């Protein structure tokens, strides 16, 4: 796929996407998806760059525009997982991923600590396991259907429904506490 060619209207009415369009459409949603996973703005910026590098290098493999959103979110999610794994390995202590991210929530820049309710919710979300957090974020914030989440995560729809329900219950308990 020519990344910098002109946008062409195909016979079936869909528009051939180029790099500029992809960035325009997906830059913000992907950034916020990544930010919710890694918490720190600096880390989110790095992961966003890596994500788009991978997108541009393998754009030819995507067969149709309808699957583009799911494919891009899948790449972004995998990059987040890769990044968090690297951070855990670099960390000198035996701190868990949840604890590491909770610490980031308190100390990172570009976090509005005056938004108490927002902080409470994020802190509650960060107590979830990584898989639960991914499912919850994609369902709650991105309002994705289970079929798309299945394509992103590889889990069956039943497992996703259980994970989302479990995540909600855990967050409920945390908020009540």
Report the chain's terminal Cα–Cα distance, integer Å.
52
Q: Which residues 46-75 are close enough to bind other proteins by CB under 8 A?
A: 48-49, 52-53, 56-57
Q: Which is nearer to other proteins, 92 or 113 (CB)?
A: 113
Q: Which is nearer to other proteins, 156 or 172 (CB)?
A: 172
Residue 155 sits in the site that holds other proteins (CB under 8 A): no
Q: How far is the CB of 77 from other proteins (least distance, A)?
A: 18
Report the candidate in 112, 115, 131, 153 with the shortest Cα–Cα distance to residue 37. Answer: 131
Q: Which of 17, 33, 36, 139 binds other proteins (CB under 8 A)?
A: 36
Residue 168 sits in the site that holds other proteins (CB under 8 A): yes
Query: How far from 39 is each of 86, 96, 116, 125, CA to CA, in Å?
Result: 15, 15, 16, 11
Q: Are 127 and 174 in contact (CB under 8 A)?
A: yes
Beta bridge partners of 15: 9
Q: Are 103 and 3 in contact (CB under 8 A)?
A: no
Residue 166 sits in the site that holds other proteins (CB under 8 A): no
Q: Which two tokens stand for residue 66?
A: 């309808």
Q: Which residues bind other proteins (CB under 8 A)?
A: 3-4, 19-20, 23-24, 27-28, 31-32, 35-36, 39, 41, 45, 48-49, 52-53, 56-57, 105, 110-113, 115, 117-122, 140-141, 168-169, 171-172, 175
């Amino acid at each position: 796929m020519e990344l910098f060619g002109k946008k062409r209207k195909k016979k079936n009415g869909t528009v051939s996407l180029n790099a500029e369009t992809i960035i325009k459409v997906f830059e913000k949603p992907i950034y916020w998806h990544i930010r919710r996973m890694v918490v720190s703005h600096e880390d989110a910026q790095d992961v966003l760059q890596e994500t788009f590098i991978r997108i541009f290098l393998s754009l030819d493999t995507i067969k149709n525009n309808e699957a583009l959103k799911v494919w891009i979110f899948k790449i972004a999610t995998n990059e987040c997982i890769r990044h968090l794994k690297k951070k855990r390995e670099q960390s000198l202590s035996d701190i868990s991923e949840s604890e590491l991210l909770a610490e980031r929530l308190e100390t990172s820049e570009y976090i509005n600590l005056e938004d108490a309710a927002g902080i409470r919710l994020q802190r509650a979300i960060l107590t979830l396991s990584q898989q639960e957090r991914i499912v919850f974020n994609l369902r709650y914030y991105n309002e994705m259907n289970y079929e798309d989440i299945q394509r992103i995560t590889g889990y069956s729809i039943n497992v996703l429904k259980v994970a989302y329900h479990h995540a909600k219950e855990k967050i409920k308990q945390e908020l009540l506490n």
